Amino acid sequence: MVTTAGSVVQVRGLRVIRGPTTALDGVDVTVAEGLITGLLGPSGSGKTTLIRSILGVQVTAAGSVTVLGHPAGSAPLRREVGYVTQAPSVYPDLTVAENLQYFARVLGVADVRADTDRVLEVVDLGPQRRQLTATLSGGEASRVNLAAALLGRPRLVVLDEPTVGLDPVLRDSLWHTFAQIAASGTAVLVSSHVMDEAVRCDRLVLLRAGRVLAQGTPADLLTRTGTDSAEQAFLALVREGRTP
């Protein structure tokens, strides 16, 4: 059950303390179905901490995180949320198909072969299905990681800086795939510190030092700040100390 129409994730008043640092302070964020929500900010802004909170693996000090109407990390969400880590989490001594079939069985997917074929088509890795993952390029390994997260048709896919270290062509290919996933009705949450990726998102959440500077569509943020790029908008918001 989704608590608000079209809403998959609702973060309200979230506060996270890690050692002597307040990693997140009063964060409010909503992630909607069928859209790409970009979580942008420099290193140390709190992006990964927010993702960990949404996945339900982060100890929080205050506030709430609800995913599909359940507290983050609840058992009913285990097959509803797909997570793509920064580094590929696949077995190098297995083929692409063997990796996906293994993860499908772990998830309890009813038709392992059919779902493996489906996700291979989504990430365009059909020709590499019998190839050992150890022999794949970095971009291909990233796509295997994404394919594993799509098994079982999750309603939310969370990607933690999935394009780090990839060349522009591979980044472009992955972003086209993210758009296809969102077009199917899945909520996609992507974190990045590369500001030029902002234009590829339907909605943006700009973070700095554990606080939300602004959120909205890319066009809205450019209009609010009177700037021409997401990077300029971010810098303008930092200078003005503006909050939502």
Confidence of residue 241 (pLDDT cuts 50, 70, 90): low
Q: What is the mean pLDDT of residues 118-134?
A: 95
Confidence of residue 2 (pLDDT cuts 50, 70, 90): very low
Based on the fold, state whether residues 43 and 149 are members of the same structural domain.
no
Based on the fold, state whether residues 180 and 87 are members of the same structural domain.
no
Q: What is the mean pLDDT of residues 137-162?
A: 92
Determine contact, residues 8/67, Cβ cutoff 8 Å.
yes
Domain assignment present for 240? no
Mean pLDDT for the chain overall: 91
Q: What is the mean pLDDT of residues 74-100?
A: 92
Q: Structural domain of residue 89, as residue ranges?
A: 82-153
- pLDDT 10s digits, 41-65: 888 899 999 999 999 999 999 999 9
Based on the fold, state whether residues 148 and 174 are members of the same structural domain.
no
Based on the fold, state whether residues 108 and 95 are members of the same structural domain.
yes
Domain assignment present for 38? yes
Based on the fold, state whether residues 44 and 74 are members of the same structural domain.
yes
CA-wise closest residue to 149 among 111, 175, 188, 184: 188
Q: Please give the full DSSP string across 110-170, using - where no structure is assigned.
A: S-HHHHHHHHHHHTT-GGGTTSBGGGS-HHHHHHHHHHHHHTT--SEEEEESTTTT--HHH
Predicted confidence (pLDDT) at residue 86 exceeds the cutoff of 90: no
> Residues of 21-33 as b/e, b for ≥16 C-beta within 10 angstroms?
ebbbbebebbbbb
Based on the fold, state whether residues 203 and 167 are members of the same structural domain.
yes
- pLDDT 10s digits, 163-202: 887 788 888 888 999 999 999 999 999 998 888 888 899 9
Q: What is the mean pLDDT of residues 124-143?
A: 92
Domain assignment present for 225? no
Domain assignment present for 233? no
> What's the pLDDT score for residue 243?
46
Based on the fold, state whether residues 168 and 57 are members of the same structural domain.
yes
Predicted confidence (pLDDT) at residue 127 exceeds the cutoff of 60: yes
Domain count within the chain: 2
Based on the fold, state whether residues 125 and 100 are members of the same structural domain.
yes
Residues whose CB falls within 8 Å of the CB of residue 235, separated by 6 or more in sequence, listed in order: none
The pTM score is: 0.89
> What's the pLDDT score for residue 3?
42
CATH number at residue 42: 3.40.50.300
Element (H, E) at 177: helix 168-183
Based on the fold, state whether residues 6 and 75 are members of the same structural domain.
yes
**Residue written as token pair 């394919």:** 147
